[in-house]
Amino acid sequence: MKRVSIKLESDQYFDQTWKLYEYSFPEFMRRPKLDQLSIMQNPLYFCDVLLEENEFVGFIFWWDFENFRYVEYFAIGSDQRN
């Protein structure tokens, strides 16, 4: 499995990531898209796309703090589960 970081809406996997994010989490748990795009510019925040054989399978959104890493969101596409 390979991880690819994305930072911009124009990045190759952003649309697939956002679609899975909306599907996987109820609205009250999600950030609005503009807020998500803004926080993605924070150097401590990472949006990593998960690829298997160069195919999108999921994502992990996480923070890299000085003493720990905090996973905020993690989702795998429904066709890749089990």
d(CA 17, CA 27): 15
Q: What is the pLDDT of residue 16?
A: 96
Q: What is the pLDDT of residue 78?
A: 82
Q: How confident is the model at residue 81 (pLDDT cuts 50, 70, 90)?
A: confident
> In this structure, which amino acid lies at residue 46?
F
Contact 1, 50 (CB under 8 A): yes
pLDDT tops 80 at residue 43 = yes
Please say whether the dihedral angle defined by the alpha carbons of residues 17, 22, 24 and 79, taken in this order, is positive or negative: negative
Q: How confident is the model at residue 24 (pLDDT cuts 50, 70, 90)?
A: very high
Q: Is 63 helix (H, G, I), strand (E, B) or coil?
A: strand
Q: How confident is the model at residue 18 (pLDDT cuts 50, 70, 90)?
A: very high
d(CA 42, CA 36): 10
Which percentage of the chain shows pLDDT scores above 90?
A: 93
